[in-house]
Amino acid sequence: MTFGQLMAFVRERFASDPKRNGSILRQLWKRYGPSEVEVMVKGAALLGWKDLRGLYSKEGIGRRWAQTAYWNREKRAPAKTLNALGDILQARGLVK
């Protein structure tokens, strides 16, 4: 995900203070890189946070919570993928 795409997601999901959230996102992007920041931001959205200030804490607790929330959701994703694959194979008549 590019910075622009992630910023659009932040503006849509965390609309409380776009200027502050943009600044926090920019600083996190420089410090942790695109893939980690994407996980943090999506995790914060899953947790229902109103802004990104929790991700920018000095101790890093908010970042860890957000990452854990994201990866816990992703652990369940492969089962959904396999079910979808099974549905596709059944629709084509390859599996009964």
The tens digit of pLDDT for each residue in 20-55 reads: 999 999 999 999 999 999 999 999 999 999 999 999
Name the residue range of residue 81's domain.
Answer: 3-91
pTM exceeding the 0.85 threshold for the entire prediction? no
Per 3-state DSSP, what percentage of the chain is helix, strand, and coil (rounded to 5)? 80, 0, 20
Over residues 53-87, the pLDDT tens digits come to: 999 888 899 999 999 999 998 887 666 666 677 78
* In a domain? residue 51: yes
Residue 96 lies in a domain: no
What does the pLDDT read at residue 32? 94
In a domain, 46, yes or no: yes
24 is a domain residue: yes
Count of domains forming the chain: 1
Residue with tokens 């920018």: 56
- Spatial distance between the Cα atoms of 66 and 39, rounded to a whole number of angstroms: 7
> Is 30 a member of any domain?
yes
Distance between CA atoms of residues 93 and 58, nearest Å:
55
**Which residues neighbour 71 within 8 Å (Cβ) at sequence distance 6 or greater?**
39, 43
Q: Closest by alpha carbon to 65, among 80, 79, 88, 46?
A: 46
Instruction: Give the amino acid at 28.
Output: L
Residue 85 to residue 51: CA distance in whole angstroms: 36
